[in-house]
């Protein structure tokens, strides 16, 4: 029997937190925060089965339109998300798509709009353990393009831009704390980001983008705007099904492209042509 290691903890060959072993989950994985959202995800697949449910990490695998796909809940925020990405990378996952919810900070973003993040402001905390603040949290261009293509195909209203990932839901997103507590940074963050053109707040994308980029893996993010902080609207659940469908379809697009090119990175010309097609 293998001697247990404190440096790289496993239990009977499985990753200590997610409780999955090498090859158990397909290499294309959706990452919702909420374990309960796994039910919404598998409801859109042709078939599925649960692999593990340990702490906040609920893992499933299945098929969407014939393509093998997995999903693992990360829990809320950077620290638990970093653990999920670390352990999934070790067991062979190469493509991560966060699918969740977000709070819009631009006045013209309607509730239910799907936000595709191509980069994230790194207020998540966890990514600071991996790289200095100057290191960008950028999504993988081919994943962003696949998400955009998927939204177009499905006729889902979407916006593409920068999101801000925060370490907390309240002060980190300019919501007053208990008894109205705030300080200058928490009060001013929303207006500052709005002036910078940032689209929305969420809590995991920066961690996923940073780790994937450092490890040469691929990542993207698609979130339903369930809140608008400018108009003070809030509708839990709106647009979530659409965000899930976009994520599924993006996996199908990426898996097909990978099969054709043997998982070589898309050439600059391919990306250039795709961007030109999208933005004219």
Residue of 62, 103, 117, 220 interacting with ligand URA (CB under 6 A) = 103
| Nearest by Cα to 165 from 132, 196, 199 | 199
| Residue 253 structure tokens | 């697009």
26 binds ligand URA (CB under 6 A): no
* Whether 248 contacts 69, CB under 8 Å: yes
Min. distance of Cβ 238 from ligand URA in angstroms?
11
Q: Are 203 and 33 in contact (CB under 8 A)?
A: yes
* Cβ atoms of 123 and 247 closer than 8 Å: no
* Closer to ligand URA by Cβ: residue 101 or 207: 101
Gap between the Cα atoms of 19 and 11, Å rounded: 8
**Active site annotation includes 229:** yes
- Interface with ligand URA, residue 102, by CB under 6 A: yes
Is 222 a binding residue for ligand URA by CB under 6 A? The answer is no
Secondary structure E strands in the chain: 10-11, 14-15, 28-31, 47-54, 57-64, 67-72, 95-104, 114-123, 137-138, 158-166, 200-202, 218-228, 233-234
Between vectors from CA 252 to CA 210 and to CA 267, what angle results, nearest 5°? Answer: 60
Given 56, 87, 142, 149, which residue is catalytic?
87
**Annotated catalytic, 259?**
no
226 lies in the site for ligand URA, by CB under 6 A: yes
E strand spans, 32-170: 47-54, 57-64, 67-72, 95-104, 114-123, 137-138, 158-166
In angstroms, what is the minimal distance from the CB of 52 to ligand URA? 25
* Min separation Cβ 142 and ligand URA, Å: 26
Asked if residue 201 binds ligand URA (CB under 6 A), the reply is: yes
- Which of the following is catalytic: 37, 58, 229, 252? 229
Answer yes or no: 175 catalytic. yes
Task: Answer yes or no: 58 catalytic.
Answer: no
Answer for which of 87, 142, 149, 202 binds ligand URA (CB under 6 A) is 202
Number of residues interacting with ligand URA: please give it, by CB under 6 A. Answer: 10
Tokens of 167: 């370490």
Q: Residue 156 CB, nearest distance to ligand URA (Å)?
A: 18
Q: Which lies closer to ligand URA via its Cβ, residue 127 or residue 255?
A: 127
Of 20 and 227, the one with the shorter C-beta distance to ligand URA is: 227
> Phi/psi zone of residue 149: left (φ > 0), alpha (ψ -120 to 50 degrees), beta?
alpha
Least spacing, CB of residue 180 vs ligand URA, in Å: 18
Binding site for ligand URA (CB under 6 A): 101-103, 169, 173, 201-203, 226-227
């Amino acid at each position: 029997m293998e001697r247990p290691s404190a440096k790289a903890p496993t239990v009977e060959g499985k990753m200590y937190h997610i409780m999955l072993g090498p090859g158990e989950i397909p290499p294309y994985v959706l990452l919702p925060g909420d374990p309960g959202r796994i039910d919404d995800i598998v409801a859109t697949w042709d078939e599925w089965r649960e692999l593990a449910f340990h702490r906040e990490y609920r893992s499933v695998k299945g098929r969407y339109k014939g393509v093998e796909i997995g999903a693992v809940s990360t829990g809320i925020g950077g620290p638990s998300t970093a653990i999920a990405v670390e352990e999934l990378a070790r067991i062979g996952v190469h493509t991560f798509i966060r699918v969740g919810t977000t709070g819009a900070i631009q006045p013209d973003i309607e509730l239910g709009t799907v936000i595709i993040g191509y980069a994230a402001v790194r207020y998540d905390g966890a990514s600071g353990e991996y790289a200095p603040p100057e290191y960008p949290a950028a999504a993988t261009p081919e994943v962003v393009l696949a998400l955009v293509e998927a939204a177009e195909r499905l006729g889902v209203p979407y916006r593409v831009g920068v999101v801000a990932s925060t370490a907390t839901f309240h002060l980190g997103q300019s919501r007053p704390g208990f008894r109205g507590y705030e300080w200058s940074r928490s009060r001013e963050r929303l207006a500052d980001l709005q002036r910078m053109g940032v689209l929305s707040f969420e809590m995991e994308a920066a961690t996923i983008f940073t780790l994937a980029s450092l490890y040469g893996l691929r990542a993207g993010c698609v979130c339903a705007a369930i809140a608008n902080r400018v108009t003070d609207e809030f509708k839990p659940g709106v647009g979530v099904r659409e965000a899930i469908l976009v994520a599924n379809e993006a996996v199908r697009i990426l898996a097909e492209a990978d099969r054709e090119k043997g998982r070589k990175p898309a050439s600059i010309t391919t990306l250039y042509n795709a961007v030109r097609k999208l933005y004219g």
